[in-house]
Amino acid sequence: MSAEPDELRPRTLAGATILQIVPALRDDSAGRTTVNVAYALLQAGARALVAADGGPLVEELQSFGGEYLALPDAAANPLKIRRNAGVLEEIIGRERVDVVHARSAGAAWSALIATVRLPAWLVTNVPDTDASPRGLRSLHLRAMAQGDRVIASSADSGAQFAKRYGIPRDRLVIIPSAIDTATFDPATVSPERTAALRHAWGVRSGERVVLVPGPIAPWNGQMVLTDAVRLLAQTGLHDAVFVLIGDTKDPHAREVAARCIAHGIDGLVVQIGQCNDMPAAFAAADLVVAPAVEAPMFGRRVAQAQAMGRPVIASAVGVLQENVVVPPRVSEELRTGWLTRPGDPQDLARAIGVALALEDTVYQGTCARARQFAEFMFSPRSIAVAHRGVYTSLLARDT
C-alpha cells in the first residue's frame, strides 16, 4: 500500500508557529499559563512566540527557548488597539504565524483586525465575568467571541457567553483554570504544619475538622452551614469541629457567630480569621465544604482541596458542580465528593453526615481519587496539553 501523500495528512504542531498574546508576563494565572503552554509547544516541535508588555516571567520563557516579542498593553484604548493590530499583522506575516492566541480583550480586538487578511487561526478566551456588559466592554467581549476557537474556563460561563454572542457549539472549548498542584500536594505538607494549625484552631485530639474556606459572605452560604450544623447536632454529632476561614471582623461574620450562639452550636463552629497556609489548612481537615448559594467566579478552593487529597461537599451551582466528580456523572466508587442543593441545610447536613460516617478504607479511597482527579483536571501540565490540543485541531483543518 502506498504511503499517504504529505498534503493529505493532517497538520501537526511540528514546525508550526504559535503566537500567544498576553497583557504582561506577570507571575499570575494568565502569565503562568502562557509560559506553561509555550513550554508544551516546544516539546511538540512548535515555535512558541509570546507578545507581551514585559513582565517577570520573560526570562523564564526565554530560558527554555520561548521567544518574547515586546507589545505594549493596549488595554481598552481603541487607538492603541488599532496600532497594535498593525504591529501584529507585521509579526504574523514576518514570522509565518499559524495560530494566534489572544488572552485578553484588547489583544482579541487587535488580533481580530490583524488576522482578517492573513491565513492564521485565531484562538480567544472569554473572561470569567458578566456575559452581558454594556458600552466598550461589550465590544471587547464581542471580539473575544469571534475566535476560530473560544476557550472558557467552565461550561457554565461558556454557555452564558455562547448564548449571548452566538458562539457555535463546535467553536467553544472548556479548559479549566490551572491550580498549583505542586504546592497543593499532600506529600509536601509536613505533619508538624498540620498539627500546628489544628492546635491554633483549638481542635482537640480525636476531633475531625470540617473546613469551610472563605470569605465569610452571604453568597458563600455560611448561614446555611450553621443551620446544617444545628440539624447535625440534634442527631448527636459531637466529635467534629467546623472551621470557618475568613475575616472575623466582617459584619456578616458577626452575624454568623450570633446565629451559632442562637442555635447553641458555638462550641462546634469556630472562626479562625484569614489563613496564609492553605495547603496545610486543607491537609489539617478531614472534609472540605463549599456551601455557596451563588455561583463563584472560579471555584479554585474546591479544586485545591481535592489536590490536597480531601473529599469535598459543594453546592450544585455554577463551576462548583463541574469541579467535583459525583454520580450519575460517574459510578459511586469513583466519586470525589458530594453536591448539594444550594441553600438547603437539610441536604447539606445529610451529605456531611454521610461523609463523616465513611469507613476508613472508603474514606482513604475517596481521598486518593480526589488527588488523582485534581492532578488530571487542573494541573498546569494538563492545562497546557489541553491548549496544545486546541491548536492541533485547527492546524488539522489546514489540509
Q: State pLDDT tens for residues 153-182.
A: 999 989 988 998 899 999 999 999 999 999
The residue with cell 527557548 is 65
User: CA nearest 248: which of 226, 271, 214?
Assistant: 271
The ranges of the chain annotated as CATH 3.40.50.2000 are 6-178+380-398, 186-378
Strands laid side by side in the 99-102 sheet: 67-70, 47-52, 17-21, 99-102, 121-125, 149-152, 172-174
User: CA nearest 310: which of 245, 225, 371?
Assistant: 371
- 299-306: long-range contacts, CB 8 A cutoff, minimum separation 24: 299/154, 299/323, 300/177, 300/179, 301/213, 303/176, 303/179, 303/374, 303/377, 303/378, 304/179, 304/184, 304/278, 304/279, 304/374, 305/211, 305/213, 305/370, 306/336, 306/337, 306/370, 306/371, 306/373, 306/374
In 3-state terms, what secondary structure has residue 123?
strand
- Number of C-alpha atoms within 13 angstroms, CB side, residue 209? 28
pTM here is: 0.91
- Number of C-alpha atoms within 13 angstroms, CB side, residue 328? 0
pLDDT the model gives residue 297? 81
CATH node for 186-378 = 3.40.50.2000
Measured CA to CA, the distance from residue 42 to residue 67 in angstroms comes to: 11
In terms of residues, how long is the chain? 399
Q: Other C-beta atoms within 10 Å of 185: how many?
A: 17
Strand partners, 150: 124, 172
Distances 375 to 183, 291, 336 between C-alpha atoms, Å: 12, 23, 13
The pLDDT profile of the chain, 399 residues, written as one tens digit per residue, is 445 555 556 789 999 999 999 999 999 999 999 999 999 999 999 999 999 999 999 999 999 999 999 998 766 677 788 898 999 999 999 999 999 999 988 899 899 999 988 999 999 998 776 555 554 456 667 888 899 999 999 999 899 889 988 999 999 999 999 999 999 999 999 999 999 999 999 999 999 999 999 899 999 999 999 999 999 999 999 899 999 999 999 999 999 999 999 999 999 999 999 999 999 999 999 999 999 999 988 889 999 999 999 999 999 999 999 999 999 999 999 999 999 999 999 999 999 999 999 999 999 999 999 999 999 999 999 999 999 999 999 999 865
Q: Are 164 and 156 in contact (CB under 8 A)?
A: no
User: CA nearest 103: which of 177, 19, 41, 20?
Assistant: 20
What is the 8-class DSSP label of residue 322? G
Contact residues for 96 (Cβ-Cβ < 8 A; gap 6+): 17
User: CA nearest 320: which of 343, 294, 344, 346?
Assistant: 294
Contact residues for 41 (Cβ-Cβ < 8 A; gap 6+): 13, 18, 47, 48, 388, 391
Q: Are 306 and 370 in contact (CB under 8 A)?
A: yes
Measured CA to CA, the distance from residue 276 to residue 334 in angstroms comes to: 32
- Quick one: fold of 6-178+380-398? Rossmann fold (3.40.50)
pLDDT in tens, 373-386: 999 999 999 999 99
pLDDT the model gives residue 130? 57
Q: Are 292 and 320 in contact (CB under 8 A)?
A: yes
Q: Are 302 and 323 in contact (CB under 8 A)?
A: yes
Measured CA to CA, the distance from residue 105 to residue 112 in angstroms comes to: 11
pLDDT the model gives residue 2? 47
pLDDT the model gives residue 137? 58
pLDDT the model gives residue 360? 96
Q: Nearest 5 degrees, angle CA 368-CA 371-CA 375?
A: 140
